[in-house]
Chain A
Amino acid sequence: MTHDQKEIEAMLKSRKHLHRLVKSCLACGACRDSCFVYCNSGDIKKSPAAKIDASLGLLFRKKGSLTKDQVKEVERIVFHDCLLCRRCYCPMGIDIPGMIAFTRSICRSQGLDGRKDIESYKEDKENSEGGS
């Protein structure tokens, strides 16, 4: 399925002030230890600040014109690397889960809800178990 770039652009335009919120991140890294997904993996790409930058931040920077792979990557980040547990702590009080939720709305508008990744994950697992 190809994504509807105009719809993404319209959604971003309707909440254009969110870009100011994304850009207000000081990249201090204080949020990383409050995210158990980061703590569990130790991968900085899974810290709240990095997830926002690579999802909603990327959408704003590219004005919604993402390649298919980039949209899939955004979907993976917002559906699989964040559980919206709202535990992320930001010294500036930025609403990180709110921005992830908005990015999920954008993904859903494109028919992407993270489920296909789970199916492909199951298939990969079955294939690897069958092969071993």
Chain B
Amino acid sequence: MNWQTLYTFASGWMLWISLVLMLGGLIYQGWSLHALTAPLNVKGDCRPEGRRKPPAAPFRWSLGGREPILAAVTLVFHGTLLSVPLFVSGHSVLFYQAFEVNIPAFPGMITDILTVTVLLTGTVLLLRRIVVRDIRYLSRFGDYGILILTLLPFATGYAAYHGHGGSMSLMALHVFSGNLFLIALGWTRLGHFVFFIYNRFMIRGEYTLAAGSRRWYLGSDGAQK
């Protein structure tokens, strides 16, 4: 299989398969999570959070209060990670060619800056896993793998855009690694944004960022579901 064939396959059929797998995985993960929760104010639930929202935990208990540099790096990493693929001009052109729908795009210079930011902040998170003893102890092989898989489409995309190496080979690798990322998004802990939104907004508790309408039900207490 040459690079052109790989590019055609990865930007055609494979993309649709990847999108279906991603959506299927995210729905499954979301459903699994939902099954571990129950509505508030159910019979037998005598805990106070069933009646009123507990007072919010102070900011100094959160990641921003405990490790502000890590919180800032994480915030920038995720913000740029989400915005670059959505608003890069190359993707916008491909989207127009496929569906004749215009989506706004960043200028090339902004895209370059944001891509380098993703790569730098991602590298900081990867180095933290390698260098910090405690985090290294907690990390498994997959934790390094998903971080590298996340950075790969950005590194190959940046190199291909600037014409480093064989352009077609880099483009093929860029699209292929992007597809792998989409599949991993559905079926690995890369889909943690589902958990973040559900757990931090839907489930009532002192760390909840909204009022919350559900509670955990892990089966360890006597409350009925």
| A-to-B contact residues, CB < 8 Å | 14-15, 17-18, 20-21, 23-30, 32-34, 44-45, 47, 49-50, 53, 87, 89-95, 98-99, 101-102, 104-105
- 5 shortest A-B CB distances, which residue pairs? A93-B199, A101-B220, A102-B220, A27-B138, A98-B218
- Enumerate B176-225 residues with CB–CB distance to A below 8 Å: 189, 192, 195-196, 198-200, 203, 205, 207-208, 216, 218-221
Q: Find B134's partner among A15, A29, A53, A98 (CB 8 Å cutoff).
A: A29
A50 in contact with B138 (CB, 8 Å): yes
From DSSP, what is the main secondary structure of chain A's interface residues?
helix
Hey, what's the 0/1 contact readout for B136-147 against A, CB within 8 Å counting as 1?
011110010000
Q: Which partner residue on chain B sits nearest A103 by CB separation?
A: B220
Stretch from B8-16, B56-64, B100-108 at the A interface:
B56-64
Residues of B within 8 A of A (CB): 29, 32-33, 35-36, 57, 61-63, 66-67, 70, 132-135, 137-140, 143, 189, 192, 195-196, 198-200, 203, 205, 207-208, 216, 218-221
Verify A98–B138 contact, CB threshold 8 A: no
B195 and A24 contact, CB distance less than 8 A: yes
Residues of B within 8 A of A50 (CB): 137-138
B137 / chain A contacts, CB cutoff of 8 Å:
44-45, 50
Q: Are B132 and A30 in contact (CB under 8 A)?
A: no
Bound-state CA distance A17–B199 (Å) is 15
Say yes or no: A101 contacts B140, CB within 8 Å. no
Please state if A21 and B189 are interface contacts (CB–CB under 8 Å).
no
Q: A21-B33, A26-B189, A98-B220 are in contact. Are A44 and B133 (CB under 8 A)?
A: yes
How far, in angstroms, from A94 to B195 measured CA to CA in the complex? 8
Return chain A residues, CB-CB under 8 Å to B67.
30, 33
The answer on a CB contact under 8 Å between B33 and A91 is no
> Are B216 and A24 closer than 8 Å at their CB atoms?
no
CA distance A84 to B36 in the complex (A): 19
Whether A27 lies near B61 (C-beta < 8 A) is no
* CB proximity of A44 to chain B, nearest CB, Å: 4
Partner of B221, one of A14, A23, A32, A101: A101
> Is A93 in contact with B32, judged by CB distance below 8 angstroms?
no
Q: With A17-B32, A101-B218 known to touch, is A93 a contact of B195 (CB < 8 Å)?
A: yes
Q: List 7 A-B contacts (CB under 8 A).
A: A29-B138, A30-B66, A33-B66, A34-B66, A47-B134, A50-B137, A91-B196
Is B216's CB under 8 angstroms from A92's CB?
no
